[in-house]
Homo-oligomer: A and B are copies of this chain.
Amino acid sequence: MRVLTVGIDIGGTKIAGGVVDSDGRILDKGRVDTPADTAELAAAVVAMARSYIDRYDAVAVGVAAAGFIDKAQATVIHAPNIAWRNEPLKAVLEAGIGRPVTIENDANAAGWAEFRFGAGSTVDDMVMLTMGTGVGGAVIIGGRMFHGGHGIAGELGHMRFTRNGLPCGCGQNGCLEQYASGRALQREAGAIADSGGIGETLARARSEHGGLTGHVISELILAGDPGALEALRRVATALGEACGGFQAVLDPELFVIGGGVAQLGDILLEPVRLAYETSLPGYGERPVADFAIARLGNDAGLIGVADLAGREA
């Protein structure tokens, strides 16, 4: 008998939900806008979950969201985009849904999906870095999701990348996500556009499109524009350097790189690998990790949290 679970990924603007089987396949999915009010948000998640349960007889529900989730995976300690502060989200949702609910950090859920069904399915020890607006992290240790002592480990985007660095929304400065995210790529591309020389094409594109979106920069990278490639190289180098440090601490077999920037594939991975090898303590005297691009795209969060829910059900 196949077991179905519901996965729901709460983003800052959209809630994505779906029904997932035990092989990580999505049988049905949909999305709604994310309400700003927390009560309305919970009601929207409950309604989405109930509608899938009614139609597919799903046994459990997984809910992923950005934020610090406690070790019991019951309470959202703090969320950056939603007004949850010590919110007992598991209990709130279980009361409305009437099925077991598993809650998980969204970057962790995406990493778990890649580990189970995507780029990491052949290893036991994996680190995932999601290069989106920020940099999300997930750590799989010995085939298990790593949560740390308080539930909030693997915030790899907030590892300090350099001292006295750029300010970060977390209250710190120099965090990796200020140097290796999609937003960092935009910042670097803008700086190169300002500088003339190899930035001329970027500057022209910025005038034409009214700004340098990730899409515009990616098109220029794929077209081989030197300025756009230089912006990518800077961001990729930062990510690779940081992976050298993560290797010293976590020693994974594999780094999986996801998020919008990762759609560039090998054009991204090549300078990442170079910077990683150049930054690895004891290089030449130790086993090194492989790098791979994530395979499950934007669905990774809901697939991963649905799978986690199925394991607990």
Contact = CB atoms under 8 A, between A and B. Distances in A.
Interface string A72-110: 000001100000000000000000000000000000000
B78 A251 contact: no
Contact of A141 (B141, B150, B159, B170): B141
B141 A125 contact: no
A286 to B, nearest CB: 5
Contacts of A249: 137, 139, 153-156, 159, 246, 249-250
Interface in A245-265: 245-246, 248-254
Contact of A248 (B155, B248, B289): B155
Listed residue (A125, A171, A251) with the most chain B CB atoms within 10 angstroms of its CB:
A251
Contacts of A68: 282, 285-286
Interface string A278-302: 0111111111010000000000000
Interface string A159-186: 1111100001011100100000000000
A59 interface: no
A203 B246 CA distance: 39
Contact of A149 (B125, B148, B156, B170): B125
A40 B281 CA distance: 29
A77 to B, nearest CB: 6
Contact of A279 (B125, B137, B160): B160
Contacts of A149: 123-126, 251-254, 289
Given A149-B124, A153-B251, A250-B153, A241 B281 contact: no
A152 interface: yes
Contacts of A152: 251, 286-287
A158 B248 CA distance: 6
Contacts of A163: 161-162, 241
Interface residues of A, number: 53
A251 B70 CA distance: 11
A214 B139 CA distance: 38
A172 B286 contact: no
Given A149-B253, A149-B289, A153-B251, 9 more contacts: A68-B285, A125-B149, A153-B249, A155-B248, A159-B245, A159-B249, A168-B281, A170-B282, A249-B249
A146 interface: yes
A18 interface: no
B78 A150 contact: no
